[in-house]
């Protein structure tokens, strides 16, 4: 079962502050933290949501990709969808997009697989948030470590990342 902590610039003892959390605090953006159980051998968002009684439609995953023209871009899509590479390429000004190899994730973002947040990366990469997030009051994204999600308004996520809402997620078959 999840543990919820309502936060607004307050300190909690169970979660170490990550770059993402620090940045939200600096910007005085309201958020909540959700501690969750995860299986290091299966980081699938649908499994995470099911195991922790979370709605998979509100748990968003952060995917880091590399475009042939622009370099690294970040996609944020709902857990029940898959990334449409053509739509992300078009939105980001690329002809071709591939996922960044996992071995390059930490060096480029400061985060590890299963703990990658679109907020507080080493560098401010272009962020593309699937447009379905706009219909949600709150979405859950990774907090920068495995085992912790940040619940945040999609508009606040857009503001803190300079993100763009675009249709890049496709329902899985």
How do residues 103-120 score in pLDDT, each as one tens digit? 999 999 999 999 999 999
The answer on pLDDT for 13 being more than 70 is no
Q: What is the band of 4 on the pLDDT scale with cuts at 50, 70, 90?
A: very low
Spatial separation of the C-alpha atoms in residues 52 and 38, rounded to whole Å: 9
Percent of the chain with pLDDT over 90: 78
Give the mean pLDDT of 18-32.
Answer: 96
Count CB atoms within 10 A of the CB of residue 146: 18
Q: Which residues contact 104 (CB under 8 A, 6 or more apart)?
A: none
Q: For residue 71, is it left (φ>0), alpha (ψ between -120 and 50) or beta?
A: left
Spatial separation of the C-alpha atoms in residues 140 and 119, rounded to whole Å: 12
Q: What is the band of 30 on the pLDDT scale with cuts at 50, 70, 90?
A: very high
**What is the per-residue pLDDT for 38?**
81
Q: What is the band of 173 on the pLDDT scale with cuts at 50, 70, 90?
A: low
Nearest to 118 by CA among 171, 76, 147: 76
The answer on pLDDT for 11 being more than 50 is no
The answer on pLDDT for 2 being more than 50 is no
pTM: 0.89
Which range is least confidently modeled, 9-13, 34-38, 50-54? 9-13
Domains and CATH numbers, the chain: 3-171 (3.90.960.10)
The answer on pLDDT for 143 being more than 90 is yes
From residue 15, alpha-carbon distances to 44, 130, 137, 169 in Å are 22, 28, 24, 30
Which range is least confidently modeled, 42-51, 54-63, 74-83, 116-125? 42-51
The answer on pLDDT for 12 being more than 70 is no
The answer on pLDDT for 3 being more than 70 is no
Tokens of 75: 């996609």
Nearest to 133 by CA among 62, 54, 63, 76: 76
């Amino acid at each position: 079962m999840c543990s919820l902590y309502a936060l607004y610039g307050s300190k909690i003892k169970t979660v170490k502050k990550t770059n993402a959390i620090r940045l939200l605090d600096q910007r005085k953006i309201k958020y909540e933290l959700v501690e969750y159980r995860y299986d290091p051998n299966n980081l699938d968002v649908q499994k995470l949501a099911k195991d922790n009684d979370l709605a998979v439609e509100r748990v968003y995953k952060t995917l880091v990709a590399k475009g042939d023209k622009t370099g690294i871009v970040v996609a944020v899509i709902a857990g029940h969808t898959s990334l449409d590479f053509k739509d992300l390429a078009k939105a980001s000004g690329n002809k071709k997009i591939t996922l960044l190899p996992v071995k390059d994730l930490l060096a480029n973002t400061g985060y590890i697989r299963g703990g990658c947040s679109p907020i507080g990366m080493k560098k401010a990469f272009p962020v593309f948030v699937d447009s379905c997030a706009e219909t949600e009051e709150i979405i859950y994204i990774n907090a920068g470590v495995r085992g912790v999600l940040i619940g945040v308004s999609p508009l606040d996520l857009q503001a803190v990342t300079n993100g763009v809402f675009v249709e890049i997620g496709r329902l899985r078959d």
